[in-house]
């Protein structure tokens, strides 16, 4: 496991403000048996618009919280090679697993291949435990119809108020 601290992403030399962990796995492998399911994803994750309206309230309350942005690595490869149906199935399964595992947190579908977890109860010392929990769920072999796909992911972490006092301050750290 390796921490990578992007240059210029932290102020005042803070090493804990923005950490990335990357894990890599191999390409998807075809399974012998055919699966079923042609439905579009419908997990219970809220969307980005819901997050952007709710974060204003959290910032006004001035209570500390941690944001974990989970980006699936090489997701475009899955869609390009097997089609968007396979990507949709993976996103639905991933959203459901995250929602069940982190029921005490708020889960949002952030963009095409990203999820956002908001932990309103975590302390700085809880960040490593949370990352390990996220990665143990995300880095997995997923059965998607007639293939088995090994996923990998990156996790970005930002803490309020330590890394910024506004949504734009917090978001600028991810960009």
User: How does pLDDT run across 78-103, given as a tens digit for each residue?
Assistant: 999 999 999 999 999 999 999 999 98
Band of pLDDT at residue 110, cut at 50, 70 and 90: confident
How far apart, in whole angstroms, are the C-alpha atoms of residue 135 and residue 133?
6
Query: Where are the domains positioned within the chain?
Result: 18-31+44-174
The position carrying tokens 């010392």 is 125
What sign does the dihedral 166-164-51-103 (CA atoms) show?
A: negative
Band of pLDDT at residue 117, cut at 50, 70 and 90: very high
Band of pLDDT at residue 174, cut at 50, 70 and 90: low
Predicted confidence (pLDDT) per residue in 36-53, tens digit = 333 334 446 688 888 888
Contact between 117 and 105 under an 8 Å Cβ cutoff? The reply is yes
The fold adopted by the segment(s) 18-31+44-174 is: Alpha-Beta Plaits (3.30.70)
Q: Which range among 7-11, 22-26, 51-55, 134-138 has the greatest average pLDDT? A: 134-138
Predicted confidence (pLDDT) per residue in 143-164, tens digit = 898 988 888 899 999 999 988 8
In percent, the amount of the chain with pLDDT more than 90 equals 30
Tokens of 67: 């944001």
- For the cut 70, the answer to whether the pLDDT of residue 29 exceeds it is no
Burial code (b: 16+ CB inside 10 Å, e: under 16) for 52-73 equals eeebeebbeeeebbbbbbbbbb
């Amino acid at each position: 496991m390796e921490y990578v601290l992007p240059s210029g992403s932290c102020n005042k030399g803070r090493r804990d403000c923005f950490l990335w962990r990357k894990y890599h796995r191999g390409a998807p492998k075809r399974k012998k048996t055919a699966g079923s399911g042609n439905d579009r994803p419908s997990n219970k994750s809220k969307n980005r618009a819901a997050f952007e309206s709710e974060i204003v309230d959290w910032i006004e309350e001035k209570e500390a919280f941690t944001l974990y942005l989970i980006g699936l690595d090489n997701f475009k490869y899955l869609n390009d090679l097997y089609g968007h149906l396979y990507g949709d199935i993976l996103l639905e399964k991933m959203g459901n697993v995250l929602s069940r595992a982190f029921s005490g947190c708020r889960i949002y579908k952030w963009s095409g291949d990203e999820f956002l977890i908001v932990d309103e109860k975590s302390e700085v010392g809880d960040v490593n435990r949370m990352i390990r929990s996220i990665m143990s769920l995300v880095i997995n072999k997923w059965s998607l119809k007639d293939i088995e796909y090994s996923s990998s992911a990156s996790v970005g972490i930002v803490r309020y108020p330590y890394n910024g006092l506004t949504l734009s301050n917090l978001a600028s750290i991810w960009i």
